Amino acid sequence: MADKHILSLEVPAVTNCEILSIKDTSQYTSLLPVDCPELIITTPGFNSASLIKLDAFTPGTGTSFDINISACQLGLQTVDCGTTRSALSDGVYIIKYSVAPNDKVYVEYNHLRITSIINTYYTILCDIGLDTCEPSSQRKDLIDEMQYIKTLIDGAVSKVEFCNSPNFGMEMYNYALKRLNKISCSVSFCK
């Protein structure tokens, strides 16, 4: 049995542009209380953070939380929160989770949200009209470009989340988005 809490979070990739999904994967010891849980998120382009209430999470019971956060909860949407949800932007989200004493027991992550760019990527894959036979040279070139763009997206995630280089990761993301936006389907190689 561990004699301290080992905090960790997972931020799974989602295709829903309106939510940020966060799963608590912490190990809590029964030897210490779990008090004052705080989930603090700084969204791309903002310097101030949002404190997310963890109402469904009951500290000290050994349970974790699995939440889907909306623009309303982040303070990015302030009207019609009960009826509509605004899309969350792609970019670097700084996510900090802590329990008391919050200045000593915490974990912090840089997360590169890629939901919008991945949805665009998949839409283009649908439009390309991939088949099980050998593609024409023009379609093959497009497929190669799509594979390169996907590698750039994966590289951007690794730079932000594993290499602790959020600025370089965003440069890679923006370069991938620029290349993706240049792709336009013509009759010759799209359905």
Decide which of 15 and 135 is more confident.
Answer: 15
Q: Model confidence over 137-184: pLDDT tens digits?
A: 888 899 999 999 999 999 999 999 999 999 999 999 999 999 999 986
Percent of the chain residues topping a pLDDT of 70: 90
What is the crossing angle of helices 166-182 and 115-128, to 10°?
Answer: 30
Average pLDDT, the chain: 89
Instruction: Supply the angle between the helices 137-161 and 166-182 in degrees, to the nearest 10.
Output: 160
The segment(s) of the chain belonging to CATH 2.60.40 are 9-113
Determine the topology of domain 9-113 in CATH. Immunoglobulin-like (2.60.40)
Average pLDDT over residues 3-28: 93
pTM value is: 0.89
For 88-124, write each residue's pLDDT tens digit.
999 999 999 999 899 999 999 999 999 999 999 999 9
C-beta of residue 46 within 8 angstroms of C-beta of residue 24: no
Q: What was the pLDDT predicted at 187?
A: 35
The answer for residues whose C-beta is within 8 angstroms of residue 166's C-beta and 6 or more apart is: 92, 110, 112, 159, 160
Alpha helices for the chain (secondary structure H): 115-128, 137-161, 166-182
